[in-house]
Structure 1
Amino acid sequence: MTTVETPAVHGSTDADLGPHALKPTALTSGQTEASLAVWENDRVSTGLWECTPGDFTATREGYSEICTILSGRVTIEVEGREPEEFGPGDVMVMPSGWAGVWRVHEPLRKHYTTIAD
């Protein structure tokens, strides 16, 4: 029998994700992010991500994302829809082609899984 590794992170709400870097799509000066990939293959990637408060634009082109908010609060704004707030325990799906603005109210951490088209 072949033994297969079980990639994991224990304590996902306080695990060290490494150094923060400036958020490239930030609308708020000085906003930073950090992430830690837990597992990935050619089509799927899963891990942890966090971001400091502020606003940024986001698009999902060529992949879909499923995420669960672990800590913090964010309001997601998508053109033509009412803004929606998410907090700890909430799950959201951003299908390929999705675009919007994230308004991060307090330090935000999520677990994400992306799936390439």
Structure 2
Amino acid sequence: MRHVAADAAALPAAQPKPTSLTGQVESALAVWQSAAPTSAGIWECDPGEFTAARPDLTEVCQILSGSGTVTGEDGVSAEIGPGSLLVLPLGWRGTWVVREKIRKTYVLIGGAATV
């Protein structure tokens, strides 16, 4: 078992976000990882806009702080903020617009996942 206070955990130094359209930085702390492509952790990102793709993974994340809008290539969007639970299914592609620095917990699940 590993326990981390996700809202207060110290994260590594922020690095440039590779898919940022506006020069954002991000930081992540891996909390758990299995032999399969499944992992859990804490992620934080500065305001701005970036693209994201989940071709081989499903992502489940809980927004702890900050706000933004997540929009899929299909045009479906969600306003996210503290308490939001977001599921990006296998194959999802889209854009995040971060208005206030976001901190989230995430679980990345390798392969197909269903409801």
Both structures adopt the same fold (TM-score exceeding 0.5): yes
SS at match of 1:77: strand
Distance in 1 (CA, whole Å) between partners of 2:7 and 2:74 is 33
1:8 aligns with 2:3: yes
RMSD: 1.0
Distance in 2 (CA, whole Å) between partners of 1:65 and 1:80 is 17
Q: CA deviation at 1:79?
A: 2.5
1:34 aligns with 2:30: no
Aligned pairs, how many? Answer: 110
Greater radius of gyration (CA): 1
SS at match of 2:100: coil
Identical-pair percentage: 45
Q: CA deviation at 1:82?
A: 4.0
The aligned amino acid for 2:109 is I
Unpaired runs of 5+ in structure 1?
1-5
Q: CA deviation at 1:42?
A: 2.1
Deviates more, 1:84-93 or 1:73-82: 73-82
Distance in 2 (CA, whole Å) between partners of 1:46 and 1:72 is 20
Divergent runs of 4+, >3 A:
none
Which residue pairs with 1:100 in the alignment?
A: 94
Measured against aligned partners, the alpha-carbon deviations of 1:47-78 in whole angstroms (never above 9, x if no partner) come to 10000000000000111100000000010111
Unpaired runs of 5+ in structure 2?
none
Which residue pairs with 1:72 in the alignment?
A: 66
What's the TM-score once normalised by structure 1's chain length? 0.89
SS at match of 1:72: strand
SS at match of 2:53: strand
Higher strand share: 2
Distance in 2 (CA, whole Å) between partners of 1:22 and 1:45 is 21
